[in-house]
Amino acid sequence: MAFPCPLCGAVSRVRTSRMLSATTKETYYNCSNHDCCHQYKTTEGDPLTVARPIPGGQAIPERQQRTLKGLKTPPVPALTRTPEGVVHRVGR
Ligand SMILES: [Zn+2]
């Protein structure tokens, strides 16, 4: 995946990435401009629902929902099940 260098605008390439939590990823980049050589990182996270994946969101069995082992803090869920139905955290 490419990302523009914040200093010179050249394409940067992913050097490595790691999951900080179930919903947060840290990505390290190297700028491809040899006159710049900027190395930086970005943080991707805080997922918000932009389109509901399944009507009501209740069709995914709990055993098929993805989890990451070894997490010390639980992730912020993108959806919450209530007796009235599913509540999505919706982004703008
Ligand atoms: Zn650069």
53 and 30 in one domain? no
88 and 53 in one domain? yes
**pLDDT tens-digit readout, 15-59:** 999 998 888 899 999 999 999 999 999 999 888 878 776 665 566
Please report the pLDDT score of residue 82 as a whole number. Answer: 77
Q: Which domain holds residue 79?
A: 47-92
Q: How far is the CA of 10 from the centre of ligand 1 (A)?
A: 5
CA 4 remoteness from chain centre: 18
Q: How far is the CA of 28 from the centre of ligand 1 (A)?
A: 13
Number of domains in the chain: 2
Please report the pLDDT score of residue 49 as a whole number. Answer: 78
Q: How far is the CA of 35 from the centre of ligand 1 (A)?
A: 8
Could you tell me the pTM of the whole model?
A: 0.58
22 and 59 in one domain? no
